[in-house]
Structure 1
């Protein structure tokens, strides 16, 4: 039995050839089919050069387990999520490595109604069966047919805005040569038929698995210039950039400034609460003061969850929350089966820009000014638990409020920190925020102090 190292906490990701290849993909498809015994599963893949072959191997595995497959073709992850809850099927698989390096690929798996499959909810069982290959013979193989989900997906996306309320706007759209381009084209065409006065300036829109402009991952500072420059050059109202499988989108204001995902959570919460007061909004504990401030102003109810999509989705379901947001640019929506989407956020931002008549910078600058934050800082440490304890001990005499929902949050009243071990990488992640009205100290003071402490 060969141990498979491509199985992670939330998904499958591995180095091509050694950790993930067509044989392994076949075994994963076969194991998924045998464990869940779905009648039909939807399968899609991103633009990576190996994704189509890995997808076909996965489909063969599913078919050999007796499962019928709808092959969605080139898709982003959320098109698979959408098809899995919108069609009469029992699950979905997207072959994607999102923003990982060129020599990687992977998969994201869901069950019926797009419920996530992670290490706690079935991924370990799939791994074990794919390793042992203890596959049962089936009487009848499954069949495969192609299915175009795009028209239904676009119709769904437009339910989040009121076309009549959209004012004239100019948007820069940067698909990063990933999977987002075909959806951008389809939304643009739909806007034209509905006479929605939005002009699209598309850059790196063609899907290209060689990624001539670098792997699309706008969370990296060095990957932001092309969007920023296009916003300034075209005097656009907003810039939008996606990662490879477009389940995350990143927004730039009309000055070309990148908006931290933390403040977008507040903006999207506001978008929902403008329509319906009293809704529940789920947030993670890394950064939270701005979100709580917005919810207080717009009559929302805050619900805290551990970081990570499986936790957020569960908490949203339990609380019937309309929206959940993470500072990592993952945004989740009740009407999207509690799944994350990279298309819905910018549509909601367009809606808020239109309804308030304000610019994106003016909508977020007050948030940024009131609650400055460090952005997430990552450290490679030998032992995360020991380092967290060291931070705990260092600040103990200041008697902070302590919250252990996710890692450790220490609240000093005028500033707070959250430190946690990454679920997906061998890193310690640090976030700091302050209340500017009570604390004029520069953010860098705290960043320097904690950096020194962590690295000592």
Structure 2
């Protein structure tokens, strides 16, 4: 697959796959080493394969891959919709809005239409690497708002949002569903999407494991574990990390990890070879919607949001970034260590620090520092591996609670000269 993903158009690269899923960094390094070895061998023997003519080295066979790929998705939609064949048009009666963001996922619209969905209000379907409507990102408020408005105008049953190369997705769904219309649309992404997909696997694979990145909420973990009876493995950020962890769990025989997913919308499922594929994620959600639509009486239709209504959600989510003044990764690492120590001491009362009663250090956290703040809230400190930035993410029950947290953190950090001389703390006061 040739893709620049969210990067500028001059940064195209390759993603490589086998039937077992995408290549890891180790796989790519092994392949590169083998290619170098082969090239050196040819060079040393003086044999340079021709690039044209009957003796040219080229692919042994050309395959129209999209035809096979689309058929796979079609079969999956039919299976997930619980119909025996496509003659009944499993998506008939559903009004679906696809916002493909002018990326590569626009082909999915034709498949939805083929299977009976009304897709007349879909938009941004023309692939355009300049992204005239902005770089598509299913977490982005602008993309969500445009999709939400399109759904409101046509009373859609669901809206789908893809990123540039359709390996991430998010949704817009109605909060209220009546026999004649849908209304009160909201985003279904991040923790909500993970929760909904977990509902699906709680029925098809009871007791299985869901692997997520480190930034998922306390409410999601409680919902997965206590409401659904699944195992939640909160791991590291990075889709390659969560996929690798899911594979490791399953291959070890320790458990069956049905899904590896990030709050960003990257999602890989065991049944799909642990490939992070936004269109396949959409297949699972659309299939669920199709089943609900056909199995419910008109007066008993439920919203997809009703299926996750027991998940506790925080009113406020905010992230701030502390920029390291000298721009160095070394300073970033050092300053993060100082901040982490201060926060950990505030949680435990260690090193003569005054203990913050509401703060509880998450000892099982594997990335940065994560602290529970009571009532389902938390905050998390992480340093970037590539940029001179320290991220502070917080979820709270109210704007006041979140502001109080930032004020408390500012008061703790501004006493340390090694921190105040290295980062700009004023963002904590805004």
Query: TM-score, with normalisation over the residues of structure 1?
Result: 0.67
**Partner Cα distance (2:287, 2:36) in 1:** 48
Q: For structure 1, which runs of at least 5 residues remain unmatched after alignment?
A: 1-93
* 1:222 pairs with one of 142, 151, 157: 142
Q: Are positions 1:446 and 2:405 aligned together?
A: yes
Q: Tell me which residue corresponds to 1:150.
A: 66
1:391 aligns to what?
Answer: 339
Cα distance in 1, alignment partners of residues 323 and 142 from structure 2? 20
How far off is 1:180 after superposition? 0.6
1:175 to 93, 100, 106: 100
- CA contact 2:99–2:123 (8 Å) conserved in 1: yes
The residue that corresponds to 1:136 in the other structure is 41
Contact persistence 2:382–2:390 (CA under 8 A): yes
Q: Which residue number corresponds to residue 131 of structure 2?
A: 211
Q: CA RMSD of the aligned region, Å?
A: 3.4
1:333 to 266, 269, 277: 269
Q: Which residue of 2 aligns with 1:8?
A: none
* Pairs aligned (count): 352
CA deviation map 1:426-450 (0-9, x unaligned)? 543333235x5xx996334435655
Q: Structure 1 residues 451, 347: closer, same or farther in 2, change over 3 A?
A: farther
Query: Contact 1:373/1:443 (CA < 8 Å) preserved in 2?
Result: yes
1:114 is matched with: 21
Provide the residue aligned with 1:347 in structure 2. Answer: 283
Which among 420, 424, 429 is matched to residue 455 of structure 1? 424
Q: TM-score, normalised on structure 2?
A: 0.70
Q: Are 2:154 and 1:234 equivalent residues in the alignment?
A: yes
Match for residue 81 of structure 2? 162
Q: Which has the larger radius of gyration?
A: 2
Higher alpha-carbon deviation: 396-405 or 309-318: 396-405
Contact 2:167 2:266 (C-alpha < 8 Å) held by counterparts: yes
Q: Give the C-alpha shift of residue 246 in structure 1.
A: 0.4
Deviation at 1:303, TM superposition (A): 2.2
Q: Is the 8 A contact 1:173 1:200 kept in 2?
A: no
Q: CA deviation at 1:372?
A: 4.4
Report the alpha carbon displacement of residue 422 of structure 1 after superposing the two structures with TM. 3.4
* Preserved contact between residue 20 and residue 273 of structure 2 (Cα < 8 Å): yes
1:298 has 2:298 as partner: no
1:359: which partner in 2? 303
Distance in 2 of aligned mates of 1:316 and 1:114: 12
Q: Could you say if the C-alpha distance between residues 310 and 200 of structure 1 is closer, same or farther in structure 2, counting changes exceeding 3 Å?
A: same
Report deviation, 1:111.
5.3
Note the residue ranges of structure 2 that are not aligned, 5 or more in a row: 50-54, 84-89, 175-183, 251-256, 293-300, 349-359, 414-422, 426-430
Instruction: Assess if the C-alpha contact under 8 Å between 1:287 and 1:431 holds in 2.
Output: no
Q: CA deviation at 1:256?
A: 4.2
